[in-house]
Structure 1
Amino acid sequence: MPKTKKIPANYMDLVFVKNESRPWREIGGGLVEIDMENTGFFNRIAQRFFKKPKISHISLDKYGSVLWLALDGKASVNDILLKMKEHFPDESEKMLNRVVQFLATLERTGFIIRA
């Protein structure tokens, strides 16, 4: 049985909103794509010498897209977890860890903020 990380109860009550400075769009089939501007010294070097794009388009998978669309500024982490379990009932055992890890990544990278 895989070890699961203990989540504080109040974390489940948190509400997140999408960062308005990150443009996004639905690209069909219920999938979402988020734009991220590549700024900073090393990105400018990569853009100039290695022809890297100024804006990266990050396509979310089916799990990330459902979660992203659930971020409405009203739904708590617990509400989002229930929605994810509803969309993916066969994977409900792993869903808590998946949701918490993805939210942490989105928050750490500035795609979402706490409401």
Structure 2
Amino acid sequence: MGQKVAGTCYIKVDGDQLVITGGVEVPASDVKRETVVKGYFKEEDVTPFVKVDAIKTPGLDLSKITKGTNLTVTAEFKDGSSYVLSGGYAVDDITFTGDDGKLSLKFEGISGDWQ
């Protein structure tokens, strides 16, 4: 029996659903490990994030996205899992391309939880 592991994703920013294209990227772990010498490693915290390309649809609240500093960003995946970013804010350049109507968005935040 096959199992669904990928497909359509849904992104919500403070409850408002975005129309997205392509994939959604979120961290699978909350730490990053690096070997110092064989058998010994260091560990650093990973900043929680959600990275996505969205369509600039009529009525999209760009002000909320660009100025919000305590957003909840929810990524719902086709396999039934969700990643919830709390205390979120937009980082990096928020760019819009007029030829295809896309916004490149990256949100980082205080915590990211898999559900």
TM-score range, shorter chain: under 0.3
More helix by share: 1
TM-score by length of 1: 0.24
